[in-house]
Amino acid sequence: RHPTKRYERRSLENIRHLVISHSAIPGTVHPAAIARFHVERVQWPGIGYHFYIDSQGRIYKTNELSVAPFHVGPWDRVSIGICVGGNFEDQIPTSPQIKSTAWLAAWLLHELGLPLDAIVGKNELVLADSPGHQWLSGQNWKRILTERVSALSLAWEQND
């Protein structure tokens, strides 16, 4: 965390999107290294995401949901930032990453009362390469992810 700068806080009722990004660096890089880069080089208050998922599928909570970190410009205050570690221009996330991202997204949708179409890639909201060319075309990992989220969400609804 930056020694003096802090991200704004917001009400959870304002959240409308789960924004998926990729780190564009290997998924083996620990989120602490990304946080150091964001703080020391970019001069942000802290890491710019709420969650980071490494190549093994481990989920790191990097900010409270009530915090509005910098991850998608004008949409920061109304979105949850989920960064999947790796570069998905030519490939898609690992199977453990897809499973963990789907579980996390399904849980967040359930907790926040959001519909499935709240899941968007950063490149669907702002001009960006993230979460890679394979998000909406090629291997279309958005489709893979949302199918898994939908199945998980259905199972949770049946158990409510």
What digits encode the pLDDT tens for the residues 39-71? 999 999 999 999 999 999 999 999 999 999 999
pLDDT of residue 153: 85
pTM: 0.95
Cβ neighbors of 17 (< 8 A, separation 6 or more) are 75, 78, 79, 80, 114, 118, 119, 120, 125
Q: What pLDDT is attached to residue 160?
A: 61
14's tokens: 């304002």
Distance CA 75, CA 136 (A): 20
DSSP structure class, residue 133: T
User: Has residue 131 got a pLDDT over 80?
Assistant: yes
Spatial contact of 52 and 38, defined as CB atoms under 8 Å apart: no
